[in-house]
Chains A and B, each alone.
Chain A
Amino acid sequence: DGGITQSPKYLFRKEGQNVTLSCEQNLNHDAMYWYRQDPGQGLRLIYYSQIVNDFQKGDIAEGYSVSREKKESFPLTVTSAQKNPTAFYLCASSVGGETQYFGPGTRLLVL
């Protein structure tokens, strides 16, 4: 079955630690996205990538970093510079700028 997988489902971060969230898709989509979701708010775009080896900042990129070395993979690193990382993180992909399809999400909690 084609789809988007995110791992882990839950992730705990200690103070000053960098953590990496995984996003993999087998839909052969060229574009991939990372969103952050906070309670009572819509989704906010962190980074997106239109093609391999290229990515652009979204609205809230500070404290995050990404890479796109393979078409199927778009990992997100939450760095120690992100002072309020507790949120639900959603990865999405699309064919070009068409409809975005979402993964199941990773919930990041701070210890």
Chain B
Amino acid sequence: AQSVTQLGSHVSVSEGALVLLRCNYSSSVPPYLFWYVQYPNQGLQLLLKYTSAATLVKGINGFEAEFKKSETSFHLTKPSAHMSDAAEYFCAVKWRDSSYKLIFGSGTRLLVRP
């Protein structure tokens, strides 16, 4: 079955440190890939998306993600964490053969230590 895996339900970093949130998908065909952020009791906000153009995608708030076909991965990074980055992050995949359905990972909660 097609699936999305986010390694680590919680990630803790110090303010100013590198943020790395992992996402892997199961498919031999490159899908469309998305990262969303969710602050407490709010909806999801789109951070960035990969749609088969450049493999390195830049998003909002200084985040970026790199699509690696050989590793079936789309990890999210930010060079320097801010306290305001503390939130839950979801990776989502839309396979090209299912035009409307998004499959979400289980989410990673990012904690930023002062």
Q: Which residues of B contact A94 (CB under 8 A)?
A: 100
Known contacts A40-B106, A42-B106, A43-B90; is-contact A97 B43 (Cβ 8 Å)? no
Contact with B along A1-17 (1 / 0, CB 8 A): 00010100000000000
Q: Which residues of B contact A107 (CB under 8 A)?
A: 41
11 more A-B contacts (CB under 8 A) besides A31-B100, A102-B44, A107-B41?
Answer: A40-B9, A42-B4, A42-B90, A48-B101, A88-B41, A90-B43, A92-B44, A96-B99, A99-B34, A99-B46, A101-B46
Give the B-binding residues of A (Cβ under 8 A): 4, 6, 31, 33, 40-45, 48, 50, 58, 88, 90, 92, 94, 96-97, 99-105, 107
Give the A-binding residues of B (Cβ under 8 A): 4, 9, 34, 36, 41-46, 49, 90, 94, 99-102, 104-107
